[in-house]
Amino acid sequence: MLCSFYKILSVIFLLSLLPALTGCQLLHIDDKSHHDESKSVDYSQYYLSLIELNEAQIADKIHQHQLASLANSESIKQDKTNSVETIEWQLKSVLFFALPHSSVHNPFTAKSKLNQLSLFALNKNNLRQSDVAFFSMLKTQLNQQILQLNELSQEKKVQQLIKQAYQFQQQQLEMLQQQINQLRKIEHNINEHGQ
């Protein structure tokens, strides 16, 4: 009976320690995920910090980004799983190409790079919901900017055609003016000889 009492007491003791041990592990896991979240880049804040830079500072940031690209080019090219580092590098590239006063500003390239990254890949790599929303909004704005650039390009082509038509008409007018002047000279000569 005393032996069973000790068995019951040891089971109760173990059961009372189990939540404490599990709680410690849960706290440790939460701490790690919090640490990982704090390490990730807040892209909207990063973009806002880029906007505040002057052209020389942006050129320096782009140069640093390109150096990081060269240093990690093999791992970025061979990374088919879209690691956190690769996605971070690609997203920062998108921001540099989307930045209006950047020396490498190109909405077509920014949109292309953004299209290469799926929202699934972004969500899978612990990107904040606010950053997923930010890049979705950026994608929409890039689409609008590309549409406007295409419309502007079409308008420039139309203006060029109008300009060419105007120049052709001017040439035709000059030729007609020359013919009229020649006819007047002929008429004048005929009138002088006829009298």
Spatial separation of the C-alpha atoms in residues 83 and 155, rounded to whole Å: 43
pLDDT at 102 (0 to 100): 84
Task: List phi, psi (to 5°) of 191.
Answer: -65, -35
Spatial separation of the C-alpha atoms in residues 188 and 192, rounded to whole Å: 6
pLDDT at 171 (0 to 100): 96
Name the least confident of 43-52, 116-125, 130-139: 116-125
pLDDT at 81 over 70: no
More confident residue, 99 or 75: 99
pLDDT at 140 over 50: yes
pTM above 0.85, yes or no: no
Mean predicted lDDT score pLDDT of the chain:
78
Of the pLDDT bands very low, low, confident and very high (cuts 50, 70, 90), residue 160 is very high
Query: DSSP label at 80?
Result: -
Q: What percent of the chain shows pLDDT beyond 90?
A: 24
pLDDT at 178 over 50: yes
Q: What percent of the chain shows pLDDT beyond 70?
A: 67
Task: List phi, psi (to 5°) of 41.
Answer: -80, 135
Give 25-47 pLDDT, tens digit per residue: 444 444 444 434 445 678 888 88
Spatial separation of the C-alpha atoms in residues 166 and 171, rounded to whole Å: 9
pLDDT at 71 (0 to 100): 63
Spatial separation of the C-alpha atoms in residues 41 and 54, rounded to whole Å: 22
